[in-house]
Chains A and B, each alone.
Chain A
């Protein structure tokens, strides 16, 4: 077992080094840091709920940055590994295909973590600065615990998406098709809760709608509702924190989901030709 981890970590290290040396990624981080600092300008436009608006802005910038990282860098890493035969150089070593998948996931997850760590640190600093600059009634409460929770929720969502992208990269050949399918997946995840809500509102005694509702429920198991890991609103809410049951269920489900998709990705990679 320890040798397995060593192999996985060796591959992850390669990915981290490659990522840290990419000018495009460094540029993305710099831009995001500048955008987050731009949160200081936000209260020119918002007169009352400055705390909420600022915290939403800061975390949203992190989400956008993570989104760009996932759908452009991560998709490229997987797809171009095959297109440019880099994967041959990597799996020509005594590393199994399953370990390859886990190594890629670990490397990219670590890069995501670094990104979130940097943006989270600056984000918290920005919020504290804004809180100090406005009257308490406009920014009365800033919970560090809720801030960390919101960021953990964000990072968890990104890991789920990363696992899905890994699976798609194994099933589909080509950079652009993987990008399209991954974006479609995300769009379905965003749209499904809206459709479910709409169906629930129209549902009376209609059997058809009841069946449709069940189908949509099943689909939610595959296309998860990321809103359930969105804890942004708790950052500035006084005396308000989600229940332990809710948190454990949400994060437990996310962990299980990520593991299942990684497993499937490993199975796909085990079986397919690297061509």
Chain B
């Protein structure tokens, strides 16, 4: 479904910042029905990978295919549901406006937009607040609204950028349950998260990135075995610290 082949991405030098290599020859793939977790410290390149898949940015070298096509083909995104890290909407819009927009761009008939939208909003406990501006939503509500918008058009591939970021424990549990439900439905999911316990529960495979390089790709259990640690979090720390020592 997604294939990254030796992808390089450098952010150009600016007046206030030096040139910075975000990804240095990263390769990985996501098969149909799989759940792949991107893990790594801040600045590891996780969000860069997601932006490359979504065609927000373009790679300097290497190739990326999504559904056997280039990400530049915008029609691919009809099959992708994207959840951004930070919910950002035009200030005065409601979740209904965004749902209508999503449905219209995905060529859904208006009735289907209405019915599916109502179903999702009810499922995500947003029906009562559907006419309030999105800027008035709490963080948890915004995240759920994002989910509703991402799932409206029944996408095969879900890309979730820090889905649990900023949520309280109840919110996290809700979102986690939703992701597991989507996984059981057979959707492919690519998501990145700092919360390794959640990654461990959800992801079938993980890709560990550190300073733009891939340190591990495989099942969480395999990472634990390789590092001789009991948990994914401990295994992650050992690999990353080892890499830091090696670099020093």
A224 to B75, CA, bound (A): 37
- Do residues B57 and A274 form an inter-chain contact, with CB atoms below 8 A? yes
Interface residues on B, range: 20 to 34
Restricting to B82-103, which residues have a CB under 8 Å from any CB of A? 82, 84, 86-93, 97-98, 100-102
B77 touches A85 (CB 8 A): no
**A69 to B102 alpha-carbon distance, docked (Å):** 27
Verify B98–A89 contact, CB threshold 8 A: yes
A-B contact count (CB 8 A): 88
* Chain A residue, CB-CB nearest to B76: A94
CB distance from A145 to the nearest CB of B (A): 38
Q: Please give, as numbers and ranges, the residues of chain A lying within 8 Å of B78 by CB-CB distance.
A: 94
A84 to B134, CA, bound (A): 14
Whole-angstrom CA separation of A97 from B72 in the bound complex: 10
Q: Does residue A18 face the partner (Cβ distance < 8 Å to B)?
A: yes
> Given A7-B104, A93-B101, A96-B74, does the pair A14, B90 have CB atoms closer than 8 Å?
yes
Q: How far is the CB of B109 from chain A (nearest CB, A)?
A: 11
- Tell me if A92 and B75 are in contact (CB < 8 A): no
| A138 within 8 A of partner (CB) | no
Q: Contacts A11-B101, A17-B93, A94-B76; is A85 near B11 (CB within 8 Å)?
A: no
Residues of A217-235 at the interface with B, using a CB-CB cut-off of 8 Å, are: none
**Residue B157 lies at the interface, judged by CB distance under 8 Å to chain A:** no
B107 adjacent to chain A (CB < 8 Å): yes
Which residues of chain A come closer than 8 Å to B87, judged between CB atoms?
89
Q: Give chain A nearest CB distance to B209 CB in angstroms.
A: 19
List residues of B (111-144) whose CB comes within 8 Å of A's CBs: 133
B88, A93: Cβ atoms under 8 Å?
Answer: no
Known: A3-B107, A93-B105. A22 touches B77 (CB 8 A): no
Apart from A14-B101, A85-B88, A274-B57, 11 more pairs, CB < 8 Å = A13-B100, A14-B97, A22-B91, A88-B84, A89-B87, A89-B89, A89-B149, A92-B84, A93-B101, A93-B106, A274-B51
Residues of A participating in the B interface, judged by any CB pair closer than 8 Å? 3, 6-7, 9-11, 13-15, 17-18, 21-22, 84-86, 88-97, 99, 273-275
In the A-B complex, the 10 residue pairs with the closest CB atoms? A10-B104, A21-B92, A92-B82, A93-B105, A273-B57, A18-B90, A96-B74, A94-B77, A85-B88, A94-B78
